[in-house]
Structure 1
Amino acid sequence: MHSNSIDIRQLEAFAAVVSAGSVTGAARLLGRSQPAVSRLIQDLEAELGYALLHRSSGRIQPTARGLRFHAEVERHLASLIHIRERAEAIGRDEPATLTVAATPSLAAGVLPQALAALPGELIPRHLHVQSLAAENVVQAVIARSADLGISSLPLEHPGLEIHWIAEAPCVVAIGADDPLANDDVVRLSDVAARRVITLANPYRLRHRVDEAFERAGVAPERIIDVNASLTALSLVRAGLGIAIVEPATIRGVPLDGVVMRKLDQNIPFLFGVISAAALPLTPTVSAVIDAARVQSLAMPGCRLLEANGTDALADSVYGQATISEGTPR
């Protein structure tokens, strides 16, 4: 890298080109001339010492290095925006900007209700909600690009403070006209006879679903795996199968034509709220932590685990059941 410093305008130009797909489009987004944007990109590439964009036949695409650098640029620009918002909030003596990162199911099924329960004076002028994969939620909190995270387990990391951990039994989502919808409790053996829709991540909920089928002595022959519960519910509504999901999504985003039923096997969904270790909590963040706990406990069968969460963390890593079947819930 050369001795000159990177200019924020160069980063904005690069981000705009990637977003728009062309220098012309980026120029319109930024309100600059096309030659000015081109020069900013060229100067940035000269400063970095490698190409960020492929240019051929009038088309522009990020290079492999450009794609990796773009992810860093997006985070940096977002941080600058947040700093500006927080500075303005301090000047107005208002609650600071809040950024919450949550997995899609919890962003849909817990967070909206928690935020809606906050007293008006605690809701900041700028509120950022990021729906991310669980691993990215953890990284966002550790990097302090998010003030708070709501994620499925495992959450074990020395840079995290875990405020509470909860467990809720998974449910089965069924088309309302399906004969199984007439049952209050659906047998896992009946589920296995159908096309089963479930989550794909083998290190989180999926391994618990697989263990439950193994305990029941059955194995589904037809499976659709997805990376978000809302996708699973949409597939159920389209008549493509029945889904085993955590209860948060179907509670937060109920779909016409899809009903939720209990399973005869306990498949625990574990999740919690995290923040960066040793980071003082603002009144707003503390209120969100408490409100998210209240909303989580409103889910059928949800309960809090021990305060320190040690056993739950170990169970989430090693895939052991946190409670025995038949334990009162």
Structure 2
Amino acid sequence: MREITLRQVEVIRAVMLRGTIGGAAELLGVSAPGISRLVKHTEEALGLRLFERKAGLFVPSVEAGKIFDQVREVYKGVENLQSAISSLQKGEEVQLAFASAPSVAQFIAARAIKSIRARYPDLYIDLNILKIEETADYLLLERGEFVIMSSAIHNPGMQSEKLANGRVVAILPEGHPLAEQDVVSVHDLAKEPLVGIDPDDPYGRTVSRPFREAGIELRHSMRGRFAQTIVSLVRHGLGVALIDEFSVSEVYLPGVVRKPLLEETSIDIYVVTKKDRVLSNFAEFSIQQFRRELNDAGKRWPERRG
């Protein structure tokens, strides 16, 4: 006995739904004679009468009832599969967990997530804010798929890939005398109350590098732990600071003036993942969005040099 093909199942179902050869042909977008021949061939091959012809309609025969029940189940399974695929494409009932350094989380993360949400409108997103020393536990214990950091992580269980390169910039309170200059030097900033992050911190070490390279002793009048804190202190007129351009990459930043630094200093941003872990499609797409937003960051503030 010959086996029934998926095409034969599709034709049988179409005749079941429409009740006529012509209706089935219209549903499948093929010719009516072709449908008629395939139904006849299927009945002969199976040795079963699938349909009764009554008043011009094709009615499922009683003896083939179990076959039609199975046809319905097959298509119910296909519909469920299509529904599952559609849900996955939209991100329904799935979660994406990742983390970011505070400097990137301030503005870049929100813009990247906006693009992620547009692509996967129902995806649940769990964003964590981490310091560099918290990255290993987060990734190795698989609490999230990736971390965006301003330093590469040197750990045999993790791998770092550079996403973007940015600049260290000066930030000043609105109305500050240095705000009139096109470019600011660390020699200018050293004469002002300086706020910043501990230079023993990896991020703090990067943004304070221009002072070290200029041979200027770094003396903070006050320190904060996160870039957002530094921006807030400057906004309230408590000092001037050096910071990465990603932390201030908004078009409007009330109370703060951004200025290019004469002693040009770069800062790299990395995506860090657990070595050999296969990332979800959601994570891979998200990393692409971070890469794009990071590389566009400097275009978002008007004070930057061309």
- The answer for the alignment partner of 1:69 in structure 2 is none
Work out which of the two has the higher radius of gyration on C-alpha atoms and give 1 or 2: 2
- The answer for the alignment partner of 1:111 in structure 2 is 109
Instruction: Return the alpha-carbon distance in structure 1 between the equivalents of residues 146 and 251 of structure 2.
Output: 22
Q: Which residue of the other structure, out of 200, 204, 226, is the alignment partner of 1:206?
A: 204
Q: 1:126 to 1:257 in 2, by over 3 A?
A: same
Instruction: Return the alpha-carbon distance in structure 1 between the equivalents of residues 111 and 239 of structure 2.
Output: 29
Q: 1:133 to 1:253 in 2, by over 3 A?
A: farther
**How many pairs align?**
215
Q: Which residue of the other structure, out of 177, 183, 186, is the alignment partner of 1:185?
A: 183
- Asked whether the equivalents of residues 173 and 260 of structure 1 are also in contact (C-alpha less than 8 Å), the reply is yes
Q: 1:210 to 1:148 in 2, by over 3 A?
A: closer
SS at match of 1:130: strand
* Residue identity matched to 2:292: V
Report deviation, 1:294.
0.7
Runs of 4+ residues over 6 Å off in structure 1: none
- Please show how residues 66-215 of structure 1 align to structure 2 within 5 Å: 93=88, 95=91, 96-118=94-116, 120-200=118-198, 202-215=200-213
Q: Deviations over 1:93-136 (max 9, x none)?
A: 46320111111111113211111123634354321111111221
Gaps of 5+ in 1: 1-88, 302-328
SS at match of 2:104: helix
* Residue identity matched to 2:149: S
Instruction: Return the alpha-carbon distance in structure 2 between the equivalents of residues 173 and 120 of structure 1.
Output: 33
Report deviation, 1:266.
2.4
1:240 paired to 2:269: no
SS at match of 2:232: helix
- Asked whether the equivalents of residues 98 and 124 of structure 1 are also in contact (C-alpha less than 8 Å), the reply is no
- The answer for the alignment partner of 1:279 in structure 2 is 277
- The answer for the alignment partner of 1:62 in structure 2 is none
Instruction: Return the alpha-carbon distance in structure 1 between the equivalents of residues 231 and 218 of structure 2.
Output: 18
Q: 1:165 to 1:120 in 2, by over 3 A?
A: closer
- Asked whether the equivalents of residues 115 and 289 of structure 2 are also in contact (C-alpha less than 8 Å), the reply is yes
- Asked whether the equivalents of residues 152 and 272 of structure 2 are also in contact (C-alpha less than 8 Å), the reply is no
Instruction: Return the alpha-carbon distance in structure 2 between the equivalents of residues 285 and 109 of structure 1.
Output: 19
TM-score of the superposition, structure 2-length normalised? 0.63
Report deviation, 1:152.
1.6
* Residue identity matched to 2:289: A
TM-score of the superposition, structure 1-length normalised? 0.59
Instruction: Return the alpha-carbon distance in structure 1 between the equivalents of residues 213 and 199 of structure 2.
Output: 20
Identical positions, percent: 22
Gaps of 5+ in 2: 1-83, 300-305
SS at match of 2:136: helix
